[in-house]
Every structure is written in C-alpha cells, then in structure tokens.
Amino acid sequence: MCGIAGGWTSSGISSRAVEKSLDAIRHRGPDDSGIFFEGPVFLGNRRLSIIDLEGGKQPISNEDGSVWVVFNGEIYNYLELIADLRSKGHAFRTRTDTEALVHLYEEYGTSLSQRLRGMFAFAIWDSRERLLYLSRDRFGKKPLYYTLSGEQLLFASELKALRPLAQEVGIQWTVRDQAIFDYLSLGFVPQPETLFEDVFSLGAGEWMVYDGAELKIEKYWSLQYVPKAAKGYKMVLEEARNLVAESVRLRLRSDVPLGVFLSGGIDSSVIAYEASRALGGSLNAFTVKMPDELLDESDVAARTAKHLNIRHTVLSLELDPLSDIQEVVRVYDQPFADPSAIPSLRVSRLAAEHVKVILNGDGGDEVFAGYRRYLAARYGSMLAWLPAAALAGLGSLLQGRASNRRSIMGFIARTLRGLACERAEQYLNWTLDMLRQTDKDKLWLRPAMRQTEEWIDSVLPEGLSPLDTLLCGDVRIILLGDLLVKMDMATMAASIEARSPLMDHELAQFAAGLPDSYKISNGVTKSVLRDAYADILPREVIRGGKRGFEPPLTKWLRSELRPLLIDSLGSNSAEVRSYIDGSFIDSLLQGKTFMHGNTSTLLYALLVLELWMRSFKTAYKSA
C-alpha cells in the first residue's frame, strides 16, 4: 500500500516539487520513498511496506529498465501471476506484487488490468513506446486524481499531493459551482469530477494512456447484472461460501501483522470466520465499543469471537466532535458529509497500534443487498396501482408522525415518498434524502446548474429490475464516492491498509447475477449470505438487524457542535450563504425541520462545507 504521484511535463519539473508532493501523502507510505525521472516523465512513490519488506522499493522496472511502475494497492493473486510470468521467461528481482505489473505490461500491454485481482492505482512508463499508462481497480477502492493542462498531465493519490505539482507548472485551481450544487444533494462530490475545475478522478475500472499529446481513457470492467444465473438455491449457497472463502484467503497474504474489524453484523462475522479457518488461532479481531449504547455492537462481537475461538480486542472509542470534525475537513481534501468518517478516523488510529493490515466488511450491503431500501425496490411494485399523489401524501403524513428517520414509520414514509417520484429523485429520497431539485430551485443563489438528478439518471442503468437498478446505482454512486473514499482516507491517514473481501470482483459478479428472489427472500435482506452461513454463525448475527457505524449526529448538533454551528453558519459572512438562501439556513439553525429530507445530515453537510471553505479556499485560490 502506498501513495503515488507523477506526470508528463515537457518543460520539466523540479525534484523539490515532487518531494513536496510526496511529503503531503507521507501518511500513505511512511516506510520509504522513491523518485524516477526520464525525459518528460516523472514518477514518485511513498511506500507502506506490506509485501517483501526489504525488496519492494519503488519505482520498480523490468530487466532492462525500459518499463517503470509506481503502484498503490495490493494484487492478491500476485503469486499465481508471477508463476505464470516466470514460465514465460520473465525474471524477477524481488518478491513484491509491484514487480509483476511491469512484466504483465510487457506481456499483455494495456489489457493487463483485466488479469489483476485486487485494489490498485498505478502508473507505468513505457520508454520505448513513450507512453504513460495509468489504471484504477474495478470498484475504485484506490484513488487516482489527475489534471491535464495543455500538454501537461499530472496525477496523484490525493488532491493534497496533486496541488504542489500543479502549483509548480503554473496551473490555477478554481472551485466548481456544480460540485457544490451536487454536494448539497449527495453529501460528497460525485466522481469522476472533483471540487475543482479540470481536476478529475480516473473512473473505477478504467485505464488511460497519454503520449504527450493525446489522452485516451477506456473502461475495462463494470459489474454486470444480466444474464441471471439459472442455479438451484442450494448450489448458490455452496458457491457463495466457496467464493467468500477464496476471497478471504487471498487477502490474508501479508508480511506484516494482520487483523479483522469485527462488528455484530453478518459481513464482518463471515470474514472473521473464514480468516480464522485459514489462519487457525492466530487471527486478531478488533471491535469498536461505541459511546452510544444503541449503536454499540461490542457485546455481540465478543460473543461471536468466543464462538469462533479467535483472539478479540475491544477498542473503546472516545469521540470529540469539535476536534474530530476539523480532522475530517483536513484529511478528506474535499467537503465530505458522511458523519461516520469521524469514528472511522478514530478507530483506524486505534487499530494501527496493533496491526498494519485490517480486513473489513465493506461492500457487503451493496453486493448482497443488505440495506432496508432494497426492500422498497424489491416489493414497491405491489403499490404501483396507487396514484403518485396518494403515495406522496401518505408518505408525508407518516413522516410527520415518525419518531425519527430510522424508525419503521420513518422507513415506510420514505418508501412511499420515493415510490411517488421518478427514478433519479427516488434514488435521492431513498439514500441521502437531502436537497432535491425542487428545493434548489428555491434556495440556490448562483447561476443555474445541471440537475443532480440528471447526472444520477445518466449513471443508473436501463433495463434492470428496480432492485438491480438500486444496487447498481449504489455501487456507482455511494460506494464509489462516499463509502470507499471514507475507508481509504481514514485508514491511510493512520498508515494502515484496509482490505475488503466482499468486494472481490469475482464474488461480486456472482452475486450480481443472482435473481432478485435469491437476494431478498421472504422480506429478508442479504438472504444468500445469511443462509450460506446459518449453520456456522450465531443466530443473533444471522438474524440481527443493521445498526450502522454512525455517531449520534442529531445529539451533537444540539449540544457539542451547537456553538460551532452558530458561529460558522449563523454568520452573515458565511461562505455557504453565497450559495444557499440565508433565511433557509437560519430556519435550520432555529430548529425547524426540513420536512421532506434528512435535516440533521443536511445541517451537518452545510457545516462541513463552511469549515472546508474557511480552511482551504484561500490556499487553493493561491495554487
């Protein structure tokens, strides 16, 4: 696991600028660094040593030095790839997975990414063909940002590392109003665009080639939901178990201490079981003890660890919202309103005191259909006979009587309101539930922007069932732009590597090809995974509900964060008031509920946006 930076600059770039870029992401690779220059191309790396601790220094080349690579991530099938490459005559100087990339490129060219099983972002310089080749993993677990100005291409693992390079060659960054506009609906800036003009993220499952004049980008993979597998349910359960076991086994390859995050849920429990089965009694499991008893799953996790006979450590999480929110603003580079980033940062630092690699259950809900909203998509057609106006009216009525959004009444209300909408607005309603276009028409103060719903419509697939449409949308929108960003930035800030077995692309493709009736059966989410491990894991895990990993946000906004809210958003000079009608912000601060949306999350998103602008706007304008 590492941080990378580099580019193609015909006018050249100073080693000082590259070193400054790498220093900005030292947390991604505190163990080592390296820089390579040749002609117009430069490559830089900060290394977090996981495989071949002594021999894996980057950049790494092929035998004659004609192909060079810098790499961030892990190739889990590297041993099998190296064995195949050696049989074809390639010679290796190290035991690291990084070296496999240059030889794969020699053998397969730009199609090499299709042979990789892992999480990755890398750049290869082919000096013979004078090509710079960059690639990103299928789901977009590892970040890769770039900017192209004139004939100058620059890239880096984080925006904070890209900025010094842009500064050096005279590229000025300006904030995109469209990014702010979308953020107000999503709580994050959707990929592949960023908060800045002409700065982008390479898409998930994409590669690019640059020859100094032309930039070419191609998609090499996307998750396919058709055709549907015609298999019996018993066979599906057996195959699911086999694929999960293989995925976990591959992700246990490490030359440093490794552990697993264990919550009270099905995803992490499955991973803990398979890891303990592969490693015997040497597995370390870590559970977070949340300060809020309603969200705390440590007791369930302790019983699961005892059931599986694995070593278990409880990490007590003490949160300080005032300092923690500032840390989120500093670490995440762009406005990021997922409040679970706060405990994610904290628990990553706690885990880093024990291990250097951690397995988690990320992606399990999106792959195996674990969220409640998937029930709405699966069974919503049963209410299709009701007029939209009736659905919306009943939803609003129930919303007013619900104790909170997460209550059963709140869920039913959002389900009904969503069924009354077109699919893009429905997606917003069932997920973030913040500002929609009808709200922005009244509140947005700047020139008209492309509707966020229009962008969502372009991302959602056509011709799939409502359930698969929602699953695919979550993979392409929320998983990519929110959940994977949250985990990558949190763990990398603590210099540890997070691996997600349930996001193995072969496992995910298997799950995507299952019929809806297998994914959600008899009103039970994540049916295949639950049934596959029903005879192994405790019943309270198999049948337990989803709690999530969230802080008590509403409580914070009324207490610990209240003075900061008033000081920042309540001021007439607040930057957000140049985007959003100040009277609406005042109404939120006065405690008025945003009737058709998630008031707490919206208020928190506005606070994060204001803090980001205060902290970074001047710095970025000077870039």
Contacts 24+ apart (CB under 8 A), 526-530: 526/266, 526/364, 526/365, 526/368, 526/369, 526/370, 527/369, 528/236, 528/237, 528/240, 528/368, 529/240, 529/244, 529/266, 529/267, 529/270, 529/364, 529/368, 530/266
CA dist., res. 598 & res. 589, Å (int): 14
What secondary structure letter does DSSP report for 202?
A: P
Residue 105 near residue 94 (C-beta atoms within 8 A): no
Greater model confidence, 98 or 292:
98
CA dist., res. 224 & res. 517, Å (int): 17
Greater model confidence, 502 or 392:
502
pLDDT beyond 80 at 524: yes
pLDDT of 473: 98
Percentages helix, strand, coil for the chain (3-state, rounded to 5) are 50, 15, 35
Helix (H, G, I), strand (E, B) or coil at 358: strand
pLDDT in tens, 555-588: 999 999 999 999 999 999 999 999 999 999 999 9
pLDDT of 1: 67
Cβ neighbourhood burial of 409 (10 Å; 0-12, 13-18, 19+): middle
CA dist., res. 564 & res. 562, Å (int): 5
Q: Does domain 2-219 have CATH number 3.60.20.10?
A: yes
Residue with tokens 């069974």: 379
Which residues 6+ apart lie within 8 Å of 338 measured at CB?
A: 187, 188, 482, 483, 486
Greater model confidence, 543 or 242:
242
pLDDT in tens, 452-490: 999 999 999 999 999 999 999 999 999 999 999 999 999
pLDDT of 292: 65
pLDDT of 246: 98
Binding-site positions for ATP: 288
Which residues 6+ apart lie within 8 Å of 565 measured at CB?
A: 557, 589, 603, 607
Tokens of 14: 């100073």
Nearest CA among 73, 74, 20 for reference residue 42: 20
CA 541, 542, 548, 552 dihedral sign is negative
pLDDT in tens, 201-246: 999 999 999 999 999 999 999 999 999 988 999 999 999 999 999 9
Q: Does domain 233-369+470-537 have CATH number 3.40.50.620?
A: yes
pLDDT beyond 90 at 62: yes
Mean pLDDT score across all residues of the chain: 92
pLDDT of 619: 59
Tokens of 508: 């995910």
pLDDT beyond 80 at 108: yes
Binned at pLDDT 50, 70 and 90, residue 10 comes out as: confident
Ordered by start, the domain boundaries in the chain are: 2-219, 233-369+470-537
pLDDT of 476: 98
Residue with tokens 């009701």: 386
Mean pLDDT of 133-138: 98
What secondary structure letter does DSSP report for 521?
A: B
Residue with tokens 């979550």: 474
Residues labelled as active-site residues: 2
Binding-site positions: 97, 288
Mean pLDDT of 323-347: 95
CA dist., res. 310 & res. 222, Å (int): 36
Nearest CA among 569, 565, 548 for reference residue 556: 565
Binned at pLDDT 50, 70 and 90, residue 610 comes out as: very high
Mean pLDDT of 68-88: 97
pLDDT in tens, 12-32: 899 999 999 999 999 999 999
Residue 283 near residue 256 (C-beta atoms within 8 A): no
Binned at pLDDT 50, 70 and 90, residue 400 comes out as: confident
Tokens of 10: 């015909």
pLDDT of 622: 44
Lowest mean pLDDT among 40-54, 104-118, 155-169, 240-254: 40-54
CA dist., res. 50 & res. 258, Å (int): 10
Greater model confidence, 139 or 391:
139
pLDDT beyond 60 at 620: no
Binding-site positions for L-glutamine: 97
pLDDT of 548: 64
pLDDT beyond 60 at 623: no
**How many other CB atoms sit within 10 Å of the CB of residue 445?**
10
Domains 2-219 and 233-369+470-537 share a fold: no
Residue with tokens 């309270």: 540
pLDDT beyond 60 at 294: no
pLDDT beyond 60 at 424: yes
Helix (H, G, I), strand (E, B) or coil at 152: strand
pLDDT in tens, 357-373: 999 999 999 999 999 99
Angle at the Cα of 222 from the Cα atoms of 216 and 225, rounded to 5 degrees? 155
Greater model confidence, 222 or 596:
222
Answer whether the bond into residue 192 is a cis peptide, omega within 30°: yes
pLDDT in tens, 81-105: 999 999 999 999 999 999 999 999 9
Greater model confidence, 305 or 508:
508
Mean pLDDT of 521-526: 95
